[in-house]
Amino acid sequence: MRRSSSWSKVSKLAMNSKRQRRERRCVLARLWHGAKGCESHRRVGELRISWTQLAACGFFRECPFQETESSVAELCALIPATARLSRGARCLLPQVLAWLGNHGRLPLGVAGVFSDKDMRPVKLALTQKRRERCYDAVVAVRLLALSRFLLCEKLQEVVERWIWRSGSVARKAVALQLLEGEGKEALGLRDLQLGLMARKSLADGLEALPRKRLRLVAEAQQLLQDENHKVRECVLYALGTSGPTAASPCAEAMVLCLEDDCADVRGQAARSLCLLASEAASDEHFNPTKIAKAVAPLMSHHHGQCVVDRAAEGLARLGDVSAPLVTEYLVDGEALERQAAVEVLRKLGEPGIHQAASLMSHSNPGVRRAALRIFQGSNCDVLTVLPGIDKDIGALMDDPDFRVRGVAALALCHLGPEATMPFASTLLSRFNMNPKAAELRDLLAALASLGRSASWASEAVRDCLWAEQWSVRRAAAETYGEIAGTFEAQRDEVTVTREAAVRLSKLLKDHVVDVAESAAKALGCLGFEGARHAQAIAHCLDDDFGLAEAALVSLLKLLGHECFATKEAAAAGIALHFKGGGQASPRARASLIEALLREAKSEERNVREESIQALGCLCAREQRPKWQYCILKEVMLALDDVQLSVKRSAIDALGRLNLPSEGVEQRESTLKMLLMSPSRQLQRYARQALERCSVSFREGEVLLALRSADVRKKGIATTMQHLFVCCIIFTCTYTFWRTCHFFFEMLGLMLGFVTALLSFCFAA
């Protein structure tokens, strides 16, 4: 009976608890999700907040203003279930109310360098993680939805500040959440009234989004009328990236941006419209013909360089429809418009070539020159499209205008050697007619584009090396290097390359740095004959920045040449330069050391030998421990080489290296071991290496002697102090002992006297 009664009591309690949970669930189902969140966070739900605190933050809907306090749970229950808020936004309301009552922070993470009392601090490393930033972006959009519903300006200001302070990842995530917010959070871009900094950050996020994320970019159409030009420009970029289908609702607004007050906005609008028109198949909003007519007026020079360049870039994407519109600017336009038209017609291909062919006989020399520029930079096969055009271009080499003649030579050589050879005599005759510097530069550039095929003009180019105009000398040096560099592999033409190397090495001392720079670059193209002048090139490493950079590039090119003899000669020249006390920048030294360390492992014996020796000369004054240890390691490995010459170079380099104290001890022990080598040559080289570094050894011995003398003096002084103290202690001890001995002796005498006296008394 007792068991049955106890069991019935337990079952009744269980039924009562189930009934209570069911009733509670029914009550929560009638409420909204925020009240349930308060039940799960009882500590937050039980906080007391005064109505005056809430009233100070803005106007709240559905909230009767009183002077009493209420709990967060009671405030959450005031929000109706039909409110336009998502479940996630409702869950955040208790934390928002607690923050408004100064009892917490918003769930938005901001890095410690941007400390903020309204947001939780996080580590700077977490702000770079995509997952953390995307979660914060979702929270930010939900908080914006709450601020819109509650009309809380303070909350919106904090969220805008977070968007402004967040990085690129967070900005992209916020932009994506707002684009898709209409379906997720019942909040879209049309519902927001953000501040300037938040709008700029949002526009940056839209600009950085990929194409597949911009399906709903039309939601940002209102930002095209934003007062800030940067926002408009970023939105136009995003629209151009999104594709014709996504951007079609914004077509009219984008066309209106072509007349914007800001030049950057006009240029970006032209670029985006042309990009969308080139991708649109049958979309009437982005008809290529209409877009080309709308964008073409931006080619005028009144709009500025930026707008003209972007309009030209866009029109080049539209194909044939833009060719007649651009040709008008080529004929009647200013210099800027004509240059932009040339670039557009070059990129159009065949339509641009046909337009250029029709303008070659124009009366204006500027138009003829622009038409030839189109042939010069065209990417298609001009002779295939227009078979007889080479003759028309060659005829313009006798044009009255010298600038037309120079550009005609460039265009003719661009067609190839076969088209140029019939006019070779005409080209050479122009060198003998005292041409102007501009025409000479164009002729030399044309021959440089031919390379080895212009070998017939090598003498004419060689004579231009000593021209009065420095620009002509610079162009001649570049062209001579291009022509003579192709002769390297031909044994019967070695003299041409050798003569070119000698002449170019003299130009390294030209008083104009640009000429010397071109000569240094040209010497790097001459292979072995250029490597023979590596020492002269290395002398330029401590000169002007441009010349030093050109010399470094040439030396590295020669060290990386496929021919072993070229590598050997280049390494030998570098060694001679630094052995004579030559200087170079730290960057040049590091680059040369890397290249020489690589060549020290070459299969060719001579290359290894010269590379090791160059490393020793290069690092005789090297102060960076990194390279000191790397070179010491490579030199020590070279001492085990099979070839005796490589060992000699390693010993020589070992004697030249500037090493730290540990390396000095290792070098000294290594050289002393080599003195006992069975090879007399190695013994001699080891002895010479010891003599070479004896100065540093003697300096080290002097320092050691001084240090030992100081230590010895200090030791003597300390010893004397110890002896003095010991003498004092001994004297005191001896005196104390003598005093005690005398005392005990006197005590003994007195005891004897007393004993004798007492004996005498008792006897009496």
Identity of the amino acid at 149: F
Higher-confidence residue: 374 or 581?
A: 374
Q: Which two tokens stand for residue 180?
A: 């898709």
Q: Residue 528's closest CA among 485, 465, 493, 482? A: 485
- Per-residue pLDDT for 760 more than 50? yes
- Per-residue pLDDT for 762 more than 60? yes
- Per-residue pLDDT for 51 more than 50? yes
Confidence label for 31 from pLDDT (cuts 50, 70 and 90): very low
- CA–CA dist 321, 351 (Å, integer): 9
Of the candidate ranges 202-216, 567-581, 717-731, the one whose mean pLDDT is the lowest: 717-731
Q: Is 37 exposed, middle or buried (0-12, 13-18, 19+ CB in 10 A)?
A: buried
pLDDT at 761: 81
Confidence label for 214 from pLDDT (cuts 50, 70 and 90): confident
Of the candidate ranges 190-194, 402-406, 444-448, 591-595, the one whose mean pLDDT is the lowest: 190-194
Confidence label for 21 from pLDDT (cuts 50, 70 and 90): low
- Per-residue pLDDT for 240 more than 60? yes
pLDDT at 708: 53
Q: What is the mean pLDDT of the chain?
A: 80
Average pLDDT over residues 218-242: 89
Q: Which two tokens stand for residue 163?
A: 């968007």
Cα-based distances in Å from 222 to 203, 217, 232, 335, 659: 12, 11, 10, 38, 69
Average pLDDT over residues 209-235: 87
Confidence label for 372 from pLDDT (cuts 50, 70 and 90): very high
Identity of the amino acid at 690: L
pLDDT at 523: 92
Helix (H) or strand (E) segment spanning residue 122:
strand 119-122
Higher-confidence residue: 359 or 377?
A: 359
Which range among 78-82, 432-436, 591-595, 619-623 has the greatest average pLDDT? Answer: 591-595
- Per-residue pLDDT for 573 more than 80? yes
- CA–CA dist 336, 298 (Å, integer): 12
Contact 314, 273 (CB under 8 A): yes
652 Rama class: left (phi>0) / alpha (psi -120 to 50) / beta:
alpha
Sign of CA dihedral 38, 40, 44, 46: positive
pLDDT at 155: 86
Which range among 168-172, 196-200, 499-503, 720-724 has the greatest average pLDDT? Answer: 499-503
106-111/119-122 β-pairing: parallel
Confidence label for 52 from pLDDT (cuts 50, 70 and 90): low
Higher-confidence residue: 590 or 134?
A: 590
Alpha helices in 31-151 (DSSP H): 33-40, 42-45, 51-56, 72-77, 87-100, 130-150
Confidence label for 703 from pLDDT (cuts 50, 70 and 90): very low
Grouping H, G, I as helix, E, B as strand and the rest as coil, residue 542 is: helix
Cα-based distances in Å from 257 to 206, 236, 254, 271, 750: 18, 9, 5, 11, 131
HSE of 262 in the Cβ direction (CA atoms, 13 Å)?
17
pLDDT at 486: 65
Q: Radius of gyration (Cα) for the chain, nearest Å?
A: 45
To the nearest 10 degrees (0 to 180), the angle between helices 168-179 and 130-150 is 50
What pTM did the predictor assign?
0.70
Q: Which two tokens stand for residue 733?
A: 């001890």
Those residues whose C-beta lies under 8 Å from the C-beta of residue 36, and which sit 6 or more positions away, are 28
φ/ψ of residue 69, rounded to 5: -100, 155
Those residues whose C-beta lies under 8 Å from the C-beta of residue 291, and which sit 6 or more positions away, are 273, 274, 276, 277, 318
Average pLDDT over residues 607-624: 83
Instruction: For residue range 276-302, list pLDDT tens digits in order.
Output: 999 887 778 888 999 999 999 999 988
Which range among 69-78, 82-91, 138-147, 176-185 has the greatest average pLDDT? Answer: 138-147
φ/ψ of residue 566, rounded to 5: -65, -45
Residues of the chain above pLDDT 90, percent: 22
Grouping H, G, I as helix, E, B as strand and the rest as coil, residue 69 is: strand
- CA–CA dist 165, 109 (Å, integer): 10
Identity of the amino acid at 269: A
Residues of the chain above pLDDT 70, percent: 82
Instruction: For residue range 139-178, list pLDDT tens digits in order.
Output: 888 888 888 888 888 888 888 888 888 777 778 888 888 8
Instruction: For residue range 344-371, list pLDDT tens digits in order.
Output: 999 888 888 998 899 988 999 999 999 9
Q: Which two tokens stand for residue 350?
A: 């065949």
Q: Which two tokens stand for residue 398?
A: 């006798």
- Per-residue pLDDT for 493 more than 70? no
- CA–CA dist 167, 90 (Å, integer): 27
pLDDT at 27: 41
Provide the β-strand partners of residue 119: 106
Q: Residue 219's closest CA among 227, 228, 209? A: 209
Average pLDDT over residues 461-475: 91
- CA–CA dist 650, 692 (Å, integer): 14
Secondary structure (DSSP) of 334-401:
-HHHHHHHHHHHHHH-HHHHHHHHHTTT-S-HHHHHHHHHHHHH--S-HHHHSTTHHHHHHHGGG-SS
Q: Which two tokens stand for residue 18?
A: 């189930």
DSSP state of 106: E
Confidence label for 15 from pLDDT (cuts 50, 70 and 90): low
- CA–CA dist 385, 354 (Å, integer): 9
Instruction: For residue range 650-690, list pLDDT tens digits in order.
Output: 888 888 877 777 777 777 788 778 777 788 888 788 888 87
- CA–CA dist 522, 536 (Å, integer): 13
- Per-residue pLDDT for 474 more than 90? yes
- Per-residue pLDDT for 698 more than 80? no
Average pLDDT over residues 388-392: 89
Grouping H, G, I as helix, E, B as strand and the rest as coil, residue 67 is: coil
